[in-house]
Amino acid sequence: MNNISMERFERVLESVKKASTYLGVEKNSVHKDHEKIDASIALAFPDLYEIGMSHLGLKILYNVINGQPDLVAERVFTPGEDFATAIKSENMPFMSLETRRPLKDFDILGFTIPYELSYTNMLWMLDLAGIPLKTLDRDDATTFVIGGGAGVYNVEPVAEFFDCFVLGDGEETVLTVMRLIASQKGKPRNETLEKLSHVPGVYVPSLFDVSYDTEGKIEKVSPKLAEYKKATRVFLPTLSESPFPYEIVIPFGKPVQDRLNVEIDRGCTQGCRFCQAGTTYRPVRERTPAEIMAIIEKALGLTGYDSVTVTSLSAGDYSKIEPLLSTLMNRYEGEKVGVSLPSLRSDTVTSNIIREVGRVKKTGFTITSEAGTQRLRDVLNKNVTDEAIIRVATNLLESGWRSLKLYFMIGLPTETDEDVEAIFKLSDKLAQLTVNKKRFQTITVSVSNFVPKPHTAFQWVGQDSIESLIRKKERLFDLIRRNKRLRLKWNNAKMSFLEAVFSRGDRKLSRVVERAYRTGCKMDAWTEFFSYDGWMAAFKEEGIEPEFYANRDFDLDETLPWDHIDTGLTKKFFLREWKHAQKAEMTGDCKTANCEGCGLDPNTCFKPYDWPEVEKPEADQSTQKNRFKYRLTYTKTGLVKFLAHLETVSVLTRAIRIAKLPVMYSEGYSPHPRISFGPALPVGVESYAEAMDIEFSSKFAAEPLLQILNSVTPRGFNFTDCEEISIGTKSISSLIKGAEYKIAFRNAMPEEQINTAIKSFMESESRIIVREGPSGKSIDTRPMIKEITTISNLAGIRFKTVNSPTGSVRPNEVVKALFADNTPEIASITKLANILNMQDKIAI
Ligand code: SF4
């Protein structure tokens, strides 16, 4: 099938709310000719664009695959309901972002599986694409559906929908899988699946049969191939094999993680007994400080981000964390690049770390405690004490932080009411903490419900019941509201229950997933869309009790649904850890203490690193003295017309950073670039007259400045004019009094009819219309519209609008005001000029 034409696609975009998330023309997006490559994959993320575009793994795969001349990767995300409805009514298949290619024309649809509550979104995306949901129903020519990511360590509940899964670090495996599928084109699907089973790190679920006993427990998992008894996770020996995705696609809009994420290490050996990532990402592999600095330097230059997060399961455990941070801050403080560390255990947070992190921006700081009492922390093997937490909080107050986030879990194994109440006691103690007469203004106490995860020491433990979790949360809420500076944030217990069901589920659950999807469940990770009743009805219809999976303590000798998935860590190790947990006995960190015999080959594990320190740049002592202000005019045409105002602001601000122009910043805790934009342009309107003011610390000639800017902006933006203005000049938005537009109608309209409508309008004293949208307010358009003329060859009109004290008229409202009930369909709206007063215009 051909790719979707631009004209049809624009019609769809006009009817959706977040059009910018479907454009596929972001900076660094890759558009390859499919005729010239051997294998194609649509990298699918089963949640919205703004969530998926924050996922580092997806970015890594996109760049690794597109770096190969014979392969191509494009992206697709779960659509909004409006987009799905619009493509259905236009009879369009679900398509990729970059080339609008139907998903079923790709060789592979590769899902990242981030969490269990994304399962129905995957079925929805398959359905929209016209790909049969079940692997059994796919023929030899059907797109292969594969899965990977953090959620693949028990995929039995969705095993029937996937041809195969990639276990572990997917950077190399995905290339092998793509080339194998390319070489097998035209051959029987079963033969390809069998060949895939020989690729290290690939799990082909259809090559295993599962039988159950009368109680519903697994009796046996029977491999169909003698040489394929289990699927084994693969991991890269060092992170040097994981190339950093420098040319990251810069998302439009505001993704949940709107910053540069750089993975400083992978794996963690702290041994927290609830943590699946702590087992499935072992062994620890660190990048060198020099490698990290080089990555950040290059990636900031290519992306224009103004903050960096160094990602790690436990950043404080990175061997050279303090020198790394001070080197980073010395290098980037002058450019106002903030650095944050998302995961820190309080025993690793030193006052130096706090001081370094706060040098540019005091971003949110989270202390993870998990449990309120030392006894329960010992059960969890969480190497944290109250004293360490109080020390970190004291350092934060001394360094100027005024808000804090604490992270805990409830429903943990062996937990008592005393443990729950201790969460409040610790939080309250921190809220009372006073340093130099300063306290925290707010402390957010974030509480999650414990979900037992496969491949952990707690995999056998049943989850606390929904009722018990709610009772504990209410007790906590009663306590926490005694202190006005504490805020409680907690997860929905019913969602956590479903997460536990699928986390510990078997293949029988695929019937429930399909039924729930068919009866309307989707976007389950979103509280506003989650339908507990819908899910419970699906379980009932299928005759399956969800509590059997979520709340039951599994027998220690029971065959677990994930026993044939080999992460490298043994069941024997987890069992030993579970026994230690019951006695609240701690196990040491094998990075600094003895090997605990988890099952991996200790020779492949972390050796204490003594990385050479990178040369530290001196701290930037410069102060911004000289200020030069410029007024710039630019066009916004093509697909970028669907960017909303704030999205445009973000795209252009980043482009200016990529250009490394010396932008001036405001003072204060959160410095902002001194850039101001003209009035917002409605979404879907093209413009030849957008304007912005910007201040630099150096002087520029107009032509070179325009050239630099045009070399870094996405297609559709073009800077056309530049003028130096004095620092005290009023902002562009306060100077603009109106605008000139032209509108083309979709169908021909007699010129006489247009002229009659214009005449009638101009002769009237008032013309009231009702504004569309929630306000529904009535506005008199007549005083706000001037000089309307007909464009005869275009079947359209040209006019000027002028702002009034009560607001301004939108261009599409002009058509409504002129033609009332006979309003013609609009083909395009173009802004031609800004009007400073009714005699002057700028930038026609
Ligand atoms: S093999 Fe030993 S040193 Fe390596 S991760 Fe496992 S317990 Fe730690």
Token readout for 588 is 């040491």
With the most atoms of ligand 1 within 8 angstroms of its CB, the residue from 598, 601, 606, 607 to mutate is 598
Q: How far apart are CA 816 and CA 610, in angstroms?
A: 71
Residues 6+ apart with CB under 8 A from 93: 1, 87, 102, 103, 104, 128, 129, 130
- Beta strands in 746-838, from DSSP E residues, in sequence order: 768-770, 778-780, 785-791, 796-802, 826-835
Position 594 scores a pLDDT of: 86
* Residue 598 CA to ligand 1 centre (angstroms): 5
Closest atom, ligand 1, to C-alpha of 284: 5
Mutate to test the pocket of ligand 1, among 569, 595, 601, 606 (most ligand atoms within 8 A of CB): 595
Which residue CA neighbors atom 6 of ligand 1 most closely? 598
In the prediction, which pLDDT does 838 show? 46
Q: How far apart are CA 146 and CA 119, in angstroms?
A: 13
Top-confidence residue, 290 or 559: 559
pLDDT band at residue 121, thresholds of 50, 70 and 90?
very high
* Sign of the C-alpha dihedral computed for residues 823, 824, 825 and 830 taken in this order: negative
**Does the pLDDT of residue 233 top 90, yes or no?**
yes
Neighbours of 337 (CB within 10 A): 21
How many other C-beta atoms are found inside a 10 Å radius of the C-beta of residue 225?
Answer: 12
Domains of the chain: 6-232 (3.40.50.280), 259-493+593-604 (3.20.20.70), 628-734 (3.30.70.580), 736-842 (3.30.70)
- Rounded Cα gap, residues 607 and 238, in angstroms: 12
HSE of 800 in the Cβ direction (CA atoms, 13 Å)? 17
Query: What sections of 238-312 are H helices per DSSP?
Result: 277-280, 289-303
Least confident residue range of 360-374, 658-672, 811-825: 658-672
By alpha-carbon position, which residue is closest to atom 2 of ligand 1?
595
Residue 828's DSSP bridge partners are: 744
pLDDT-based confidence at 836, cuts 50/70/90? confident
Q: Is the alpha carbon torsion for 125, 127, 129, 134 positive or negative?
A: positive
Where residue 244 falls among pLDDT bands split at 50, 70, 90? confident
Distance 232 CA to ligand 1 centre (A): 17
Q: How far is the CA of 11 from the centre of ligand 1 (A)?
A: 57
Joined tokens for residue 134: 């079940």
Give the pLDDT confidence score for residue 56 in this predicted structure.
87
pLDDT average, residue stretch 203-220: 97
- pLDDT, tens digit, for every residue of 600-647? 998 888 766 676 766 665 555 555 568 899 999 999 999 999 999 999
Mean pLDDT along residues 103-125: 97
Collect all residues with Cβ–Cβ distance below 8 Å to 603 and sequence separation of at least 6. Answer: none
Cα end-to-end span (Å), the chain: 41
Q: Do 335 and 289 contact (CB within 8 A), yes or no?
A: no
Q: Report whether pLDDT(28) > 60.
A: yes
Is 466 within 8 Å of 494 (Cβ atoms)?
A: yes
The mean pLDDT value for 777-797 works out to 86
pLDDT, tens only, 308-367: 888 898 888 888 888 888 888 888 887 888 888 876 777 788 888 888 877 766 767 888
CA distance 241 to 60: 12
Q: Choose which residue among 286, 605, 606, 607 to substitute to test ligand 1 binding: the one with the highest number of ligand atoms within 8 A of its C-beta.
A: 605
Cα separations in angstroms, 436 against 140, 394, 702: 72, 10, 51
- pLDDT above 70 (res 839): no
* DSSP single-letter state for residue 504: T
Q: Which atom of ligand 1 is nearest to the CA of 590?
A: 8
- Mean pLDDT lowest among 14-28, 450-464, 657-671, 791-805: 657-671
Average pLDDT over residues 11-37: 92
* CA 567 to ligand 1 center in whole angstroms: 13
Percent of the chain scoring above 70 in pLDDT: 95
Structure confidence at residue 36 (pLDDT): 95
pLDDT band, very low/low/confident/very high, at 216 (cuts 50, 70, 90): very high
Residue 594 alpha carbon to ligand 1 centre in Å: 8
CA of 592 to the centre of ligand 1 (A): 11
Q: Cα(796)–Cα(743) distance, rounded to whole angstroms?
A: 5
Averaged confidence pLDDT in the chain: 91
pLDDT at 192: 98
378 Cα to the center of ligand 1, angstroms: 20
Tens-digit pLDDT profile for residues 686-720: 999 999 999 998 888 999 999 999 988 888 999 99
pLDDT score of 841: 47
In this prediction, residue 259 carries a pLDDT of 84
pLDDT tens profile 483-527:
999 999 999 999 999 999 999 999 999 999 999 999 999 999 999
Distance, CA of 43 to CA of 46 (rounded, Å): 10
* C-beta of residue 22 within 8 angstroms of C-beta of residue 16: yes
Nearest atom of ligand 1 to the alpha carbon of 569: 6
Query: What mean pLDDT do residues 386-405 have?
Result: 92
Kindly give the distance from the C-alpha atom of residue 51 to the centroid of ligand 1, in angstroms, as a whole number.
33
Q: How far apart are the CA of 605 and the centre of ligand 1, in A?
A: 6
Whether pLDDT at 843 is above 50: no
822 alpha carbon – ligand 1 mean position (Å): 75
CA 74 to CA 629: how far, in whole Å? 40
| Token code pair at residue 388 | 């360490």
Hey, which of 265, 587, 600 would you mutate to test ligand 1's pocket, going by the most ligand atoms within 8 Å of its Cβ?
600
Confidence of residue 668 (pLDDT cuts 50, 70, 90): low
What residue spans of 114-200 are helical by DSSP H? Answer: 119-129, 170-183, 189-196
Instruction: Please tell me the residue having the least CA distance from ligand 1 atom 5.
Output: 283
Residues within a 6 A CB radius of ligand 1 = 269, 282-283, 590, 595-598, 600, 602, 605
pLDDT number for residue 844: 36
Q: Do 669 and 360 form a contact (C-beta atoms < 8 A)? A: no
Lowest mean pLDDT among 296-300, 411-415, 562-566, 664-668: 664-668
Print the SS3 string covering 718-777: EEEEEEEECCCCCCHHHHCCEEEEEEEECCCCCHHHHHHHHHHHHHCCCCEEECCCCCCC
Q: What is the percent of the chain where pLDDT is above 90?
A: 67
